[in-house]
Amino acid sequence: MTVKTAKKKAPVVIKEIANFARGFPLATVGGIIVLAFVLIAVLAPYVAPQDPNKMNLENALERPGPEFLLGTDYSGRDMLSRLIFGARVSLFISLTSVILGVVVGVVLGVVAAWFRRLQTLIMRLMDIMLSFPSIIVALTIIAILGSGIQNLIIAIAVYNIPVFARIAFGQTLSVKNFTYIEAVITLGARDGRILLRHILPNIIAPVIVQFTLVIPRAIMLTAGLSFLGLGVMPPTAEWGNMLQNSLRWAAQGPHLVIFPGLALLLVVFGFNTFGDGLRVSLDPRMRNR
């Protein structure tokens, strides 16, 4: 892309964002919340006021004030710093696992729809995986592999694979019957070229929408497993284990439970509202309704 082309496209992108903001104000608020959390997570070492793991028992269970804006926990660690680094861990696990699920799921769904001999095998396997609740799938994988960030990512990714496989499968079945796809096949194009250049670009929109809607579920699953002691282990700051470790001190320091809970609430609200707005904006039938 040349500099001139980039300059021409920039006003178009800004115009589209402005139109989206006017048409979907709540989704825009959600998008701003998501962007804020992502920026905080990326810049965590620079915006956190203190080391999140630095303990000082003299400051244990301090209430929010000028020195500690969100107070301290039972070990005297700064709650604001731990929430900021907790955002980095939670978003990293959620985004990485869902991206992994998208890549594998889309590949399986497209292959199943394009190569009929593989359709029954792949899609029945996806149906079996979807028949189990997410928490059961995650608990089973963690029981086999053990706890830890890497295994938590694998557990969440495995559950998300069939979700995206079904979407890619249905979309590919629809697109493959278009006239221009039949024309490309007639011209003798290879399967790989057709899938990469003609199928994937036409099924990417619903995949992106589903991606934004699955992220909050992945965040809640990450927090839930960490709360149960099967995810991110202390002293690493993560919202789920922060809630679990703070329960016994909730009476003396309610802020230990309130702030991690509010962080989870805000980020899930942001992703859900932004995803809903994006889904409607990309679907002409829902937009007209």
Residue-level pLDDT, tens digit, the chain, 289 residues: 554 554 555 576 677 778 778 888 888 999 999 999 999 999 999 999 988 888 888 888 888 888 888 888 888 899 999 999 999 999 999 999 999 999 999 999 999 988 888 888 999 999 988 888 878 888 888 888 887 888 889 989 998 999 999 999 998 888 887 777 777 777 777 877 878 888 888 888 889 888 988 999 999 988 888 888 888 888 888 888 888 888 888 888 888 889 999 999 999 999 999 988 888 887 655 555 5
**The pLDDT of residue 165:** 93
Predicted TM-score (pTM) of this structure: 0.86
**The pLDDT of residue 285:** 58
The answer to whether residue 12 is domain-embedded is no
The answer to whether residue 3 is domain-embedded is no
**The pLDDT of residue 106:** 93
Distances (CA, A) of 255 to 48, 49, 54, 152, 207: 18, 18, 19, 27, 38
Quote the CA–CA distance of 218 and 226 in Å, as a whole number: 12
Give the residue from 126, 84, 31, 102 showing the smallest Cα distance to 237. 84
**The pLDDT of residue 40:** 93
The residue with tokens 């700051």 is 237
Quote the CA–CA distance of 224 and 243 in Å, as a whole number: 10
Quote the CA–CA distance of 14 and 2 in Å, as a whole number: 19
**The pLDDT of residue 262:** 93
What is 187-223 written as a DSSP string?
A: TT--HHHHIIIIIHHHHHHHHHHHHHHHHHHHHHHHH
**The pLDDT of residue 36:** 94
The answer to whether residue 4 is domain-embedded is no
Please answer whether residues 102 and 211 qualify as being in contact, where contact means their C-beta atoms are separated by less than 8 angstroms: yes
Q: Which domain holds residue 99?
A: 24-288
**The pLDDT of residue 96:** 93
The answer to whether residue 248 is domain-embedded is yes
Q: Cα-flanking dihedrals φ and ψ of residue 142, to 5°?
A: -70, -35
The answer to whether residue 9 is domain-embedded is no
**The pLDDT of residue 92:** 93
CATH number at residue 126: 1.10.3720.10
User: How many domains are there within the chain?
Assistant: 1
Please answer whether residues 221 and 154 qualify as being in contact, where contact means their C-beta atoms are separated by less than 8 angstroms: no
Distances (CA, A) of 97 to 94, 105, 160, 229, 282: 5, 12, 8, 19, 24
* CB environment 185-222: b (16+ within 10 A), e (fewer): eeeeeeeeebbeebbbeebeebbebbbbbbbbbbbbbb
The answer to whether residue 98 is domain-embedded is yes
